[in-house]
Copies of this chain bind each other. A is one copy, B any other.
Amino acid sequence: TIIDVIEKQETKTSFFKGKNIIITGGPTREALDPVRFFTNHSSGKMGYALAQAAQQLGGKVTFISGPTSLGCPAGVNCVEVTSAEEMYEAVLSGFKDADLVIKAAAVADYRPKKVYDHKIKKQMAPLIIEMERTKDIMAELGKRKTHQFLVGFAAETDKPIEHGKEKLKKKNMDAIVVNDLTKDGAGFGEDTNIVTYINQKGLEVSLPRLSKLDIAYKLFELMEQDMKDDQP
């Protein structure tokens, strides 16, 4: 309820107040030529909700977003990027001073190996597009991590919890938020989501279907607990 949320904000302000929080959101676009590109169905709503909540909780928030129609939440420092490469540069440049990084963006894993200067003309022969891997931002953050608390998102259509746990370990994250794209009311474009929060100790918290903003507040509660536990 609204009252719950307001109460939470008041009681929780203290922990995140003044903390440097980087949040990413939205899709990236990977050009094939000046007209065509690869992208994905991310609407950017989950990242936007996290940025809003983080700001309300007193954080100093940088929201790095791919192309969406959502604009910038009030009181937040917004950075617009297009490609996975630009996202990499923007996230890395602020990482050293960050206390918490939440990667909710749906960054392309692959991009066309060759980007054409001119629009590719239609031809009768089949078009073969060779794709190459983009830089793995989370894996890089996991390697460079000193004091930062790292949270990733995984959107899966197949064994979501299992794949989420693998990613969490492999990339040295502190927690991962898994969402099962096959569930109604979960995932891309929706105003609601159904997620499971998993931390490094193996704690799994499954939230019911909630608005993305309510999920954001719940996630900050869970992250606060884990960040406090991590403190020496």
In the complex with contacts A119-B157, A129-B129, A39-B37 CB distance below 8 A: yes
CB distance from A162 to the nearest CB of B (A): 12
Question: Complex: how many Å from CA A32 to CA B30?
Answer: 14
Identify which of A46-54, A105-113, A194-202, A206-214 touches chain B. A105-113
A38/B36 in contact, CB under 8 A: yes
A69 proximal to B (CB < 8 A):
yes
Task: Choose from B117, B118, B128, B133 the contact partner of A128 (Cβ within 8 Å).
Answer: B128
Taken together as a complex, chains A and B put the C-alpha atoms of A96 and B83 apart, in Å, by 43
A75 within 8 A of B: no
Interface size classification for chain A = 35 or more
A133 to B125, CA, bound (A): 9
**Nearest CB in chain B to that of A109: its residue:** B122
Measured in the bound complex, the distance between the Cα atoms of B128 and A127 in whole Å is: 10
Residue in contact with A106 in the complex, picked from B32, B35, B69, B156, CB distance below 8 Å: B35
Asked whether A128 and B126 contact (CB < 8 A) given A106-B35, A181-B119, the answer is no
Contact A158 B40, beta carbon cutoff 8 Å: no
Residues of A81-133 contacting chain B, CB below 8 A: 106, 108-110, 113, 117-119, 122, 124, 126-133
Beyond A35-B155, A35-B181, A158-B118, whether A131 also contacts B130 by CB under 8 A is no
10 tightest A-B CB contacts, nearest first:
A127-B131, A129-B129, A119-B157, A118-B157, A118-B158, A35-B40, A109-B122, A69-B69, A36-B40, A110-B127
Q: Which residues of A contact B (CB under 8 A)?
A: 32-41, 69, 106, 108-110, 113, 117-119, 122, 124, 126-133, 155-158, 181, 188
